[in-house]
Structure 1
Amino acid sequence: MKILDYKNSKLVLGTAQFESNYGITSKSKLSSGEMKKILRSSFSRKIEMLDTAADYDKVEESLGNLQIKNMKIISKASIVKNKIIIKKNDLEKTINRTLKNLQVKSLYAFLLRRPCLLINNKGILKTLLKLKEKGFYSKIGFSLYSPDELKKIYKIFKPDIVQIPINIIDNRFERSGWLDILKKDKVEIHARSIFLQGLLLEDPQNLPLYFQKYKSFFLKLEKWFKQNKISNLEACLSKVFLDERVSNIVIGINNKAHLDEIVKTNIKNFTTPKWFLKNEEKLINPKLWSLV
C-alpha cells in the first residue's frame, strides 16, 4: 500500500464536471472561485495537465481567465456539427477559438471525437497534421469509446495519444489486447471514465432510476469492497494507477474537497474478480444511458 506520489503524477485534471450537465452526480455549474481553488491546488500538487473540450459550456473561457498558461492542455472536438461533417476551415477555426478562449499559444494535444469519420474524410486528417506542423499543438489524438473504433482508425493513422475508458468494471481495451499494442507502439494511453461519471462512487441506495436494474450488482460490489477493506475510490484509482501501460489518468473533480480526498487516497494491489467486469454496453457506455 502506498500514497499517490504527486511529484511525478500521472493525473490529468478533467474539466467536464466544471459544467452543470455532466455526470450523474453533477448538480450545478462550478463557480469561477471554486475552479480557481481546484486549479491552484492541482498545480501545487504537480498535477500539471488539464483536459477540456470546445463544447463544454463556456468552460474554456472560464479556464482562460484563471492563468493556466503553465499547464499542459488537452482539448477535444468533433468533426460533426448538426449531423454534418465540418469543413477543413471550420476545424481550424474551432482550434483557433479554443486557443483564444484558453488564452494560450498552443496545446499539448488536440483530440478528435468520432475519429472513424476520418476514414472517408482524409482532408480533415491532412488539416490536423498541417496544424500540428504549424505548432497549434504538439500531439494528435483520438477520444474513443470502444476497441472497434480504435481498430478501424488505427489502420489508416497511428495517433500520438488515445483517451479511452478504463475502470474496475470495464476492461474492453485490455481484453482486446489494445493496451499492449499501444504501449509497444509508444502511443500515450490516457485512461478516462475511471469513476464512470461518478457512478462507481455512488451509494447503491441512491442510484438514479435508470441504474436500478443494476442495483444488486452494485450492492455486491459494495459488499466485496468492505470484505476486502478497500474503498470504491481506492479501487478505482488503483486499477489504473498501477497499470504501467497507462500514461495518464483523467480525473473528474466536482470541488476542491473531492481533489483533497483523491490526494489522500491509498493505492492498493488487488485482484479484480471476474464478476466485476460488467462489460454490458448499456451500463459502461454513458452515451447509451437514458436521461438520469
Structure 2
Amino acid sequence: MSSPSSVDSETERTVILEGFDPLEVVDSLPRTVFPVTAQVELSRSSGNDVTDSTFRPPEYPVSLRKPKDTPYIPPTTIHFDNPAERPPDRKSVWKPHEFRDQFGDILVHLEEETGTDPDRTSLAGLCVVEIPPRYLTSDEGQPVAKPALYEEEGEMTMLYFQQSSGFTAHMVREELGDALPGKKRSPLQLTRMDEVIAKPSRASRDTRMEAGRARYYTEPEAEKAGKRGAIPGIWKLSDVSYTGDSARPLDGVLTDLDQFAPAFAETDLLKHVTFRGRTQEQEKFYAEQVLSQ
C-alpha cells in the first residue's frame, strides 16, 4: 500500500535547455562550448500498430495488436571530441561536424525511405564544457583547444542536463512554449555544474584511455599532486545528490551562470524558469516476512 502526500504552493527556480533536436542544439553551441556527450533516441511508436483481423473483440476478450515495421533509435550515448574528457575504451569519438553529417544522413533516410518523422528524434541528456576564449584556436576551420590549456592548467566549466526524476513540467508544457514543441515530456534540466582544472596530458584525438579518465584533475589526482586548488568544484540539484555527497547546492548559483559559463549563458539555448507547484512524496510498504497465507 502507498499513500501520496504533497506540499502545495512551493516555488522552484530551474534552468532548462531550449529544444530537444540533437542537431539544432549542437549547431547552436558557441565556439568555446564543446559537446562532451549527448544521449539521443527515437522512441518506438505504437500509433501505427495494426489490429489482427482474426483475434479482436467482441468475438475475443482482447484485441491482438501487431507492431508495424518502423525503425527506431534506442537510447544511445554519443561521445564527442572535446577538451575535457576522452571516451571510454573502444568507444567511437565524433567531432561535432562529423556527427552533424552522419546523423543528418540517418534523418534523411528515416524521412525519405521509411516515412518516419525525423522530428521525433530527441535529446535525452547532454553534457557540455566551456573553455576560456584565450585557449581557443581552430584546426581546419573547426574549434579546438590550444595545448596551452593543459600546459597552463587552465579552468573549464562542465554543465550537465538531464530529465530529472524529481521534477516534471508536464502540466505547464503549453506555458513553456518553444522549449517543449510537441513533446509530452519534461524538459532537460541543468542538474549539475563542475568547475575543473585542466591537467598536462596528450591532447590527441587518437589517444585512448581507460573509461572514466579525464583531462582535468579529479579530486584524488589533485590531492596526490598536492594541488588542492585543482580539486573540482561541483554543484548539484538536491534530487541528484546522495547522502554524504559533498557537492554544493546548484540552486544558489543558477542566477550566476554567466560567471561560470559566460558564452553559454548568453545563448538562446538556456531558459531560466521559476515554477509554482507541489512536492509529492510516495510512501511504500516493504514486506519483510510472510506471517500467513
Q: TM-score, normalised by structure 1?
A: 0.24
**Structure in which a larger fraction of residues adopt helix:** 1
- TM-score scaled by structure 2? 0.23
Structure with higher strand content: 2
